[in-house]
Amino acid sequence: MHIRHLPRLAATLALALLSAAACAAEAGYERVKVPDGDQPPLDTAIWYPTTAEARSTDLGPFTLPIAMGAPVVGKGLPLIVMSHGNGGSALSHHDTAVALAQAGYVVAAVTHTGDNHADRSREVSMADRPRHVSRAIDFVLTQWRAKPQVDPARVGVFGFSSGGFTAVAVAGGVADLARVGPHCQAHPRDYACLVIAKDPAGAIAAGTGGPLSGRDPRVRAAVVAAPALGFTFSRESLAGITLPVQLWRADADTVLPSPWYAEPVRDGLGTPPEYHPVPDAGHFDFLAPCTLRFSLMAPPLCSSQAGFDRAAFHREFNAAVVAFFGRTLAP
Taking 70 as the threshold, does the pLDDT of residue 24 lie above it?
Answer: no
- pTM reported for the whole predicted model: 0.90
| Whole-angstrom distance, CA of residue 47 vs CA of residue 151 | 15
Homologous superfamily, domain 9-173+215-328: Alpha/Beta hydrolase fold, catalytic domain (3.40.50.1820)
Measured in degrees and rounded to the nearest 5, phi and psi for residue 245 equal: -130, 135
| Residues in Cβ contact with 299 at an 8 Å cutoff, skipping those fewer than 6 apart | none
The pLDDT tens digits of the residues spanning 236-273 come to 999 999 999 999 999 999 999 999 999 999 999 999 99
Measured in degrees and rounded to the nearest 5, phi and psi for residue 41 equal: -65, 150
Taking 60 as the threshold, does the pLDDT of residue 180 lie above it?
Answer: yes
Q: Give, as one character, the DSSP assignment of residue 51.
A: S
**Rounded mean pLDDT of 10-24?**
43
Q: Which 3 state secondary structure label does DSSP give 244?
A: coil
Taking 90 as the threshold, does the pLDDT of residue 196 lie above it?
Answer: no
The answer to whether the beta carbons of residues 107 and 94 sit under 8 Å apart is no
pLDDT for residue 20: 38
pLDDT for residue 60: 87
Taking 90 as the threshold, does the pLDDT of residue 211 lie above it?
Answer: no
Neighbours of 23 (CB within 10 A): 17
Continuous segment of H or E residues that includes residue 130 = helix 128-142
The pLDDT tens digits of the residues spanning 285-300 come to 999 999 999 999 999 9
All structural domains of the chain with their residue ranges: 9-173+215-328
Range scoring the smallest mean pLDDT among 23-27, 258-262, 280-284: 23-27
The pLDDT tens digits of the residues spanning 62-118 come to 999 999 999 999 999 999 999 999 999 999 999 999 999 999 999 999 999 989 898
pLDDT for residue 320: 98
Report the residue count for the chain: 331
